[in-house]
Structures are given as structure tokens and as C-alpha cells.
Structure 1
Amino acid sequence: MLNPKAFPRYRDFDPLVPVWCVTPGKGGCIHRFFDTSPFSPSGKYLAVLRLPREDRLNLPGESADIVVVDLETGEERVVASTSGWEAQLGANLNWGSEDSALFYNDVDLETWEPFCVKLNFLTGEKRRLEGGIYRISPDGRTIVSASLERMRRTQDGYGVVLPDDRVPRNFGLREDDGLYATDVATGKRKLLASIRDVFDRAHPRIPRSRYEQGECYGFHCKFNPQGDRLLFTMRWYLTEEDQPWNMLPKGLDYWVVTMRPDGSDIAVAVGPELWRQGGHHINWFPDGERLSMNLRSEGDEELSLVQVNADGTGLRKIVDGVPGSGHPTVHPDGVHILTDAYENEKVSFGDGTVPLRWIDAKAGSEKTIVRINVGNPATSANTALRVDPHPAWDSQYKRVAFNGYVNGTRRVFVADLSALS
């Protein structure tokens, strides 16, 4: 558990819950994402990435520090450096099934090949695994990832940064790219489901002929909490640009598909016809059978918090009268939702600060439990430099880690929500 005497208390805007800054020293730190716990399995440690600079995107080969914070003593320990990172999800730090197993991305600077590292930060022992990491399975045995080197084709600030001429393009519906799986025991990687597999085998059917002339890339992928189903997101565009980068602002078609861990039984959960209305940040419900996301319904001005079954059926709002925003996670009690907000969303405060929102879906009400500044001046140069809180739970659903931009730098905070949850 966190030792409150080891960290400075955060009191700005009178939080409704106890909050501490767990990176009070040098700063420049972020935790990974809202769907990954930065807390170690025992809850004693917190894993973060420290960026070398905060005023621009990283260059190929530029290194960042992986830092482990001891939540009992307050020590910040640099345990490794990596060239396999970016400004939004860092090095995709994932804990294994025990405190001694920490996984992250790196890049071989001789071959420019991304790879995954399994680090025992207690002993310093490292092992190289094939392919990169996006998420690890709940049992710690399987790593999944889309092509990290290709991600900035569709959006800056994700994947790993390689020289431009080392980033492949996916013309047509590729049979040699898609969702990959790495066996942690052997370190070997295989292509679990190709992009063509999805277009050929998904149900309901995707009109393949409409998309064969463009470019399609994998992006997010996540195991459900039970480890018996995966979600995989794909992004498509058509362009005549010689070298397309960061195509998100220019318009993409999106699919969220789910499948079994062996790549079979591919189902379209959310397709382009829904995404075009506006939406973002899909995640598993705790039951592992439904997905949550922000989505704008036809005719609505604001996003709603919605749910959909893994096979695409049962789409409906989770709560009426409370807008969606940010990065929502449904609590295991099935009633509460924790989310944050982007600076420009209506639920934010308009001064660079955003809320951590505690939503009661049964009562149709919400509370701002923490208000945190995320206004990074560098965001005006590139939106990929924004600071998103990405509130992420510990394994017991008692504490939440989140990012902020406080005292001129990125910092990570921990809030104790045990009185609420």
C-alpha cells in the first residue's frame, strides 16, 4: 500500500478523495494507459516512463528512462532505458503475473527492429522477446500487439519511432500484417490474425471490395479480464500522398473486432458506420462479454457512454443524461464508471484543468473527485504532446493512477478511492 508519509499530498481544487504525487522529483513521467494497471501485482511498485524532453516528439533512437516507484519508501529508481517509446503510451509498460516481471518495448538500433524486453528489475536480468508489446494476457503468458512500427501512419504519438524509410506501408488487405501474439515462455512471435483474415472471416461480413484499394493498419488490442477473448482495432484510409503520416485528422474508417485468443471466431463489435458519428476509447467490461466506449448517437450533440456485446449486438446507452468523455472504465460493481476528459471537451473547465469523473449509472449522477491540470504549452505545436490523465485502477479497484501537468512538467498521481469503491 502507498505510504502517505513518503509522498507530497495533492490538494489543488479540494479533491474529494486523498491524492498524492508519486513522481515529485525530476518529473517528466507518465504511466501507460487507462486499460493497464501501472501498479505491480502486489501493489508495492508503480511503473512509469520518464521522457527526456517534453517540448517535442521523440526522434528515432532517442532514449527514455523506465522508472519504478516504491510506494512504501517513495524511492524513484531508474531500472532501464529504451528507444522503443512515444509520447502517449510510453514504452507500453506491462506488469507480468509477479513483481519481478516487467515488460516494455525497445528498438535494435542496428537493424531498427522493435522487440519486447522482459525485465526482472529486482535483479537486473533481461530477456529479449520477438515483436513488440502492446498488452499482456491476464495470466502473463501471451503478449499481443499490432505493428508498432506502422502506427504513426495513422496517428502521431503511438507505437515506436523509426526512421521514415523503415516504416512499411500496407497497400491493400495484407496477409503479412495484423494482430501478433508472442509466447512469453519461448519468446517466439506469430501472426495471430492478418488484416485479410479479418476482412475474409469476420461476422457480420465487411464489404471487402470497398476497402481493397486503400491502406489498413492495426492499432489497439486488449485481452478481456478473463483472458478468453481479444479486441483488435483497425484503421483504414485512402490517399494519394507519397508519404502519409498522422492520417487521423484527415479521416479514417475504424473497426473494433473481437476474437478468441487463437484468432478464431472474429466478430465486428463496432464498425465504421458507428465510428463516423463520433466516438473513442473502447474497453472491456469487467464481465469480459461487453465493451464500453464513448459514442455519439445520430442526432445527438454530445458523446454518450454506451455498451455493446463482443459480437456487435446489444448496443445501448449505459446511462442517460450524463455525457461521455475521456477514457472510461466500468467498475466491477456494474454501477460506477470512472473517466477523465480532454481539455476541449465540454465537461472540462476551460483553463487547462480536467476532471476525474465518478459516474453513478444507476442514479444518473456524477461527481468530480479530482481536478488536475493537463495544459502542456507544447501541445499547441503537436497535439500528440498532450497530457491525458488515463485513470487506471490497481488490481483491487481501490487506488487509481493518473497523469497531470503540474509545476511545469508531467507527473503521475495516485488517488485512494476506497471510500467510494
Structure 2
Amino acid sequence: MRLDPDAFPRYTDYDPLVPVWCVTPGEGRCIHRFFDTDPVSPSGRYLAVLRLPREDRLNRPGEAAQVVLIDLQTAEQRVVAETCGWETQLGANLNWGPDDMLYYNQVDTATWTPHAVRLDTKTGQMRRLEGGVYRISPDGRTILSAAPERMRRTQYGYGVVLPDARVPRNRGLAEDDGLYATDTQTGERRLLVSIREVFERAGIAERDYASGECYGFHCKYNPQGDRLLFTMRAYRTDDPQPWNRIAQGLDFWVVTMRPDGSELAVAVGPDQWRKGGHHINWFPDGERLSMNLAIDGERRLDLAEVQADGSGLRPITGLPGSGHPTVHPDGRHILTDTYEREPAAFGDGTVPLRWIDIQAGTERTLVRVNVANPGTAVSSALRVDPHPAWTRDNRHIVFNGFVGGTRRVFIADLGSML
């Protein structure tokens, strides 16, 4: 990564264990995407963030946010696009492809149709692609996404916002909704696997959910690009317009498969997830998954691992889980944050970035940062999660905070810890 440390102010609150720079020191209201996505361009020169129009309420249909590129050499900030295809947690799902191509969600407000955009950051040329953006493949050829307009049915913050009447509803096990794949060369989208197909092929008891509603949510390629995961969420309700159903309880599945949809298996299902759990991710080896999971059912979250086919579920370490964990390629360390009200937080609105040594069974606080946002009194989807994400050099991390009364993005150098 081509960061000039003299171009940005140092973050020194609470005496960080590693060097940290605030890379959005001016206007603020900025977030990077998520803990599983490198927000720095393949060239290492630019950081992509989304600047929210405001921080005290959820966005409304047709309300635009700014896609901002930050030059990590000069600290110049440049607004390269505006988009109505965003929410408050993952923004517009900014994903870098090869050659500094940037992909993100947009909504055509004339027809209220979500679609993807490919932006050539060198020329400014934009191309419209079918479907939404959640994660792009390592080779940049395929974009995975569930239906972003339907995500608000199960949880606010992760998809796009349309007028309520325009949001489709899945009654029963949908044959026309599920996990989609968009070809970045042709711009065409296809349904890779439907929700009904997942149930049938994975052997999930359909009778338990046929009278409810089921929606797709997270999807991710492994680092090698030869497996992917897809999460589904189901509930039952008589509400004529159900929204944010996570507050009332959901059943969750993590399903893995090959990129062509073959070798489909349930890695974690509702029986285990009901004990408590969140935030699944791939191990660097591309064969195992990591997540926070209450394995023993005592509601204490473990940092857990499981094979892609659901076998081998076990704790990674005896330390409690929290936040958004990732396993470093060295196989020895885990990086994670915490939610503001998780036990590992400090209780005053600040949270640690936890650096866990698996072999030694120890942890240290790399950085302590404030995340308390007064806007959470309006909606929990306005919370500020650090979402610490590794850059391609596996040395630097990018994370969010709420500092100086606004959302800001930071970069830390973990070279001394590796």
C-alpha cells in the first residue's frame, strides 16, 4: 500500500499500540465497506469510501451519497460519483476490481431498479451492469449478490432503499430469488441458485419454512476464488410489510458451494446459530470458515471454525469472540473489533481492536476508538462499527470510528506485530 504517513494526521487517542492515521480528517461522514473487503485499490494508491449525506437518520429512497477516492500519497479527496444505492452499514458496497475498476450499487430512480455500476477511476467512464453488488470475485470477472432491495426485510443497513411498495416479498421458498451472479464483461446477471434450490439440494426440511419467508443476505468468495458462501434468513409473520425482522428473531443458514453452484452444503444451520452467533468469514486457506458462535449453548461467543461442509466445528482459541473477526494468513493471529455493548468493549462508547495470538492464547488492544453515535437513538442501523479490514499487503488495516462528532476512516500499520 502506497500510504504517505506524512500526508495524514496521526491518531493518538488512548495511546495506540501501532501507528494509526486518520485518512478522512476534514468533512467526515465517511465509512469503508466491511471487514472482509480491502477498500484500497489494487494499485495501492487510492482508498474508496462512501460519504453519507447525514448521520442522524436512515436514508430515504432516492437520497444520494458520495463515492469518494482518497489519494494515499497526497491526501486529496475526490468525489467521483453519487449514488442512491446505499445504506448505513455497508454503504454502496464498494468493491475494487482489477486495474482500479470500482464497482458499487446504484438505483435508477425513474424505474426504482437497483443495478451495479463499474467506474473506471482512471478515465471516469461508467458502465451500468445488471443486478446488485455485494462481493466481486478475486479475478474480477463475477459479482455476487443477493437481491439488495429485499435485504431490508430482514435487516436495515446492508442493501439499497426503494419505496416500500417497490420491494418484492418472498412468500414461501422462492424459485425466482436467491444468489445472483453478474458477469462483469457482459454486464448480464443470472440466478446462480434459487432459495428453493438451496433447500432441496442441501436437504433442509422445507415443511418448516414453506409457510414463511426466506431471503438471501451475505455472500463471499474465498481468497482462492474456488468456493463461495451464501447466507439465508427466514421468519414467519402476518405483518403486511415486514421490515428489519432481525429484531424479532430469524433462522440463519450459512451455505457453501463452488462458483458454479455445485458441491452445495450447509456449513452452519439454525440449530447451532440459535445458540448465538454472527459474522462468518473465510479462513485464508479457503477451506474453513471462521465466525463468532456460542458452540456450547451458554450464549458466550467463541471464536470458532468449521469446514465448508459443516464438519469439524470447534473453538479456535479459548478467548471469547466479538465483533468482526478475520484470521491472518500467518495462521497465528486473529484481528477483530467489538460492538459498543459487547462484553469486550470498554463501556464508555469506545471499543478495542483486538489482536489475538492463537498459539499463546493471549490478546492485546491495538487501538481504542470511539464508536458511540447519538444517531443510534433513532435506529441501531446508524451504529458505527470499526469493521477492521486487511489490505492486500496483509500488513495494514482500515477501520471506522466516530471521532470529533462524525464518522471517520483510519489506517493502521501492524508491521511491528507480525
- Please classify the TM superposition score into its range, dividing by the shorter chain length: over 0.9
SS of equivalent residue, structure 1 residue 191: strand
SS of equivalent residue, structure 2 residue 240: coil
Whole-Å Cα distance in 2 between the matches of residues 87 and 201 of structure 1?
34
Match of 1:264?
262
Whole-Å Cα distance in 2 between the matches of residues 378 and 115 of structure 1?
29
SS of equivalent residue, structure 1 residue 318: strand
Q: How many residue pairs align between the two structures?
A: 417
Match of 1:97?
98
Aligned match for 2:324, one of 313, 323, 327: 327
Match of 2:11?
10
Match of 1:253?
251
Whole-Å Cα distance in 2 between the matches of residues 323 and 15 of structure 1?
22
2:396–2:412: 8 Å Cα contact kept in structure 1? yes
Whole-Å Cα distance in 1 between the matches of residues 99 and 335 of structure 2?
26
Query: Runs of 5+ in structure 1 lacking a partner?
Result: none
Match of 1:228?
226
Match of 2:363?
366
- Residues 299/132 of structure 1: CA separation in 2 closer, same or farther (3 Å cut): closer
The Cα shift of 1:367 comes to: 0.3
Letter of the structure 1 residue corresponding to residue 107 of structure 2? V
Whole-Å Cα distance in 2 between the matches of residues 215 and 58 of structure 1?
25
Match of 1:353?
350
Whole-Å Cα distance in 1 between the matches of residues 122 and 79 of structure 2?
12
Q: CA RMSD in A?
A: 0.7
SS of equivalent residue, structure 2 residue 278: strand
Match of 1:31?
32
Match of 1:242?
240
Counting only pairs closer than 5 Å after superposition, residues 11-410 of structure 1 correspond to structure 2 as 11-99=12-100, 101-202=101-202, 205-320=203-318, 322-410=319-407
What CA deviation, in whole Å up to 9, does each residue of 1:109-160 have, x standing for no partner? 1110000000012211000100010000000000000000000000011200
TM-score by length of 1: 0.98
The Cα shift of 1:300 comes to: 2.9
Whole-Å Cα distance in 1 between the matches of residues 349 and 43 of structure 2?
34
Whole-Å Cα distance in 2 between the matches of residues 242 and 287 of structure 1?
44
SS of equivalent residue, structure 1 residue 172: coil
Letter of the structure 2 residue corresponding to residue 18 of structure 1? P
Match of 1:412?
409
The Cα shift of 1:233 comes to: 0.1
Q: Percent identity?
A: 70
Whole-Å Cα distance in 2 between the matches of residues 371 and 8 of structure 1?
17
The Cα shift of 1:298 comes to: 2.5
SS of equivalent residue, structure 2 residue 123: coil
Structure 1's consecutive aligned runs of 4 or more residues displaced over 2 angstroms after TM superposition are: 297-301
Whole-Å Cα distance in 1 between the matches of residues 175 and 340 of structure 2?
39
The Cα shift of 1:299 comes to: 4.4
Whole-Å Cα distance in 2 between the matches of residues 136 and 178 of structure 1?
17
Query: Runs of 5+ in structure 2 lacking a partner?
Result: none
Whole-Å Cα distance in 2 between the matches of residues 402 and 158 of structure 1?
17
TM-score by length of 2: 0.99
Letter of the structure 1 residue corresponding to residue 79 of structure 2? V
SS of equivalent residue, structure 1 residue 161: coil
